[in-house]
């Protein structure tokens, strides 16, 4: 099986798995005061320090969560709630956010009566900076938080997070960035970005599923989603998953340390994949920014095909990929990301996302290239029947 869906989840790195198993064999709640508890606490704090160093943050800024989705919700809702006063009630998002952010923002609008503004993107999925400037000029005093992803999970386009954060800082507005697809794949420097909050997820970079983290500047407040023991700066209560945290730190450190060489390797494989697919299927359309994008992301539309049909045909041929965000798989509707980029609904439904990861080899690309012509032919035939 050629697995080309690493943006949905990627296998645990051997180093992370070893760290998990080794730590899971020890007893101890990190909130306990006895010896076993102190040992567990030491593991957590060492992991916090390692993640902070890898991402140019301070240890006290690292808050552990149970997933990237939880971290996104905590950042967006928590910061909004903490700043909702003196006429501030506007949440600013973008038209291409992951559902973990988009649905959290929509919930604030529907249930908390927040005013919501969605920033548009251009045809390659990049945020319109003129729209950002205009919005800040008109409504800066109303804004509680701006949330803008670092890299799009579907088409791979990188966003000008530092530019947006610099504009927002001039008005005292915190910026949150969902960097779940970016960490370990492109340079991520929390301090230099100017962001107030940044989220990451373990299973996107070789760590365990069910682990995540929110980097939150010490001068930024967030109302907690969970109430209980007051762990993690009293922002995220809950017994800490010590083995998961140890494995997450191992994955983050390894991914960041090897990022440059691994990203170069994946970019070469991706470019080969795109060139060979376009050679085999001449009307295939390459989506997203052709230059400023994630190294392992190849997102293509196949006119005249249904993406779901193509996915199943490829799956039957031994190639696994995605029609878009894994969190929206199975829903018969066009990608909101492609629609925001101006794609026709039919073209949006014809897209597939191929994402490469640390285990990906040329053999995986070869398998896709061998299978795609027949899959496209059959999908187009099915569409005509």
Enumerate the β-bridge partners of residue 93: 118
What is the Cα–Cα distance from 35 to 207, expressed in whole angstroms? 27
- Catalytic status, residue 305: no
Q: Which residues contact 249 (CB under 8 A, 6 or more apart)?
A: 19, 46, 47, 48, 50, 51
Question: Look-up: residue for tokens 């198993």?
Answer: 21
Catalytic pick among 148, 305, 321, 327: 327
Q: Annotated active-site positions, please? A: 327
């Amino acid at each position: 099986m050629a697995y080309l869906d690493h943006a949905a989840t990627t296998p645990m790195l051997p180093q992370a798995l070893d760290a998990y198993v080794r730590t899971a064999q020890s007893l101890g709640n990190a909130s306990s005061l006895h010896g076993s508890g102190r040992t567990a606490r030491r593991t957590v704090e060492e992991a916090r320090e390692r993640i902070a160093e890898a991402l140019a943050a301070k240890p006290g800024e690292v808050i552990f969560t149970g997933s990237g989705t939880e971290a996104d919700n905590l950042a967006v809702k928590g910061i909004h709630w903490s700043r909702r006063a003196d006429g501030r009630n506007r949440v600013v998002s973008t038209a291409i956010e992951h559902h973990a952010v988009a649905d959290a923002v929509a919930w604030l609008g529907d249930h908390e009566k927040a005013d919501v503004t969605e920033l548009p993107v251009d045809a390659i999925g990049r945020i319109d900076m003129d729209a950002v400037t205009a919005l800040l000029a008109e409504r800066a005093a109303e804004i509680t938080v701006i949330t803008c992803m670092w890299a799009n999970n579907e088409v791979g386009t990188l966003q000008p997070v530092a530019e947006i954060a610099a504009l927002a800082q001039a008005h005292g507005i915190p910026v949150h960035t969902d960097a779940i697809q970016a960490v370990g794949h492109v340079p991520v420097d929390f301090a230099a970005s100017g962001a107030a909050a940044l989220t990451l997820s373990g299973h996107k970079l070789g760590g365990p599923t069910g682990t995540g983290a929110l980097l939150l500047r010490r001068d930024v407040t967030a109302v907690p989603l969970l109430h209980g023991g007051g762990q993690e700066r009293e922002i995220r209560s809950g017994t800490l998953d010590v083995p998961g945290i140890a494995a997450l730190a191992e994955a983050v450190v390894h991914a960041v340390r090897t990022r440059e060489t691994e990203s170069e390797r994946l970019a070469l494989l991706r470019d080969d994949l795109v060139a060979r697919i376009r050679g085999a299927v001449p009307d295939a359309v390459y989506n997203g920014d052709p230059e400023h994008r994630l190294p392992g992301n190849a997102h293509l539309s196949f006119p005249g095909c249904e993406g779901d049909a193509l996915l199943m045909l490829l799956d039957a041929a031994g190639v696994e990929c995605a029609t878009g965000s894994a969190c929206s798989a199975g829903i018969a509707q066009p990608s909101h990301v492609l629609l925001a980029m101006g794609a026709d609904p039919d073209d949006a439904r014809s897209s597939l996302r191929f994402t490469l990861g640390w285990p990906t080899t040329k053999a995986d690309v070869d398998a896709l290239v061998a299978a795609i012509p027949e899959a496209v032919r059959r999908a187009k035939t099915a569409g005509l029947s």
